[in-house]
Structure 1
Amino acid sequence: MGYAIVWLVSNIINLMIWFIIAQAILSWLVAFDVVNYRNRFVYSVGGFLDQVTRPLLEPFRRIIPSLGGIDVSPIVVILLLQFVNILFMRSAAPILMNALG
């Protein structure tokens, strides 16, 4: 059971990192007019990524100012998620695996 919880938490963190990367790439594609939100698929993917990543990114967007129109909050959030993942794997994961098996 402990291995399953560790696997689940680690994969959720990694999935959130990939969602943030996909959101950043989609925003660049929209900004450079490669794709636009008039396309129904792009609109639905963009809406999904926005709904998933907004709770993580919004607090940092309020704190970190935009640097010349460039939003650096995704980079900060990715670094923090990596830190949390490493911290979890080094400290909490061994305890969970020993306690729950």
Structure 2
Amino acid sequence: MAQFIGTLQTIYTFMIIGYVLLSWLPNARESFIGEMLGKLVEPYLSMFRRFIPPIGGMLDISPIVAVFALQFVAAGLIAVLGFLGLS
């Protein structure tokens, strides 16, 4: 179970990174992959964007904070499962 949570966390982290990288390419977020990633990643990122304003009006660090939070939650779930003997 711990390996499954770790795998899901890794996949979602790569999805966030891919979505951020698509912002560097013109019109890439309007492609099929960009729209699909947006539907999967944007609800999670929007939670962090409410509290973390862009730096200088352009640099959005909310994906970095979101990835750290995702890693923290995944590690916490794995620790709880280990404590309960379900890992």
TM-score range for the pair, normalised by the shorter chain length: 0.7 to 0.9
Superposed displacement of residue 25, structure 1: 0.6
Percent of aligned pairs sharing the same letter: 32
TM-score, normalised on structure 1? 0.73
Selected match of 2:80 from 92, 95, 99: 92
Match of residue 40 from structure 2 = 52
Kindly indicate which of the two structures has a greater share of residues assigned to helix. 1
Gaps of 5+ in 1: 31-35
Gaps of 5+ in 2: none
5 Å-filtered alignment, 1:1-101, equals 5-30=1-26, 36-37=27-28, 43-68=31-56, 69-89=58-78, 91-96=79-84, 98-99=85-86
Paired amino acid for 2:68: L
**Rg (Cα) greater in structure:** 1
CA distance in 2, matches of 1:59, 1:94: 29
For residues 18-49 of structure 1, what are the alpha-carbon distances to aligned partners after superposition, in whole Å with 9 as ceiling and x for unaligned?
Answer: 1000001111122xxxxx34xxxx61000011
Paired residue total:
85
Query: Higher RCO, 1 or 2 (CA under 8 Å, sep at least 6)?
Result: 1
For residues 39-72 of structure 1, what are the alpha-carbon distances to aligned partners after superposition, in whole Å with 9 as ceiling and x for unaligned?
Answer: xxx6100001101101110011111111121111
TM-score, normalised on structure 2? 0.83
TM-align CA RMSD = 1.9
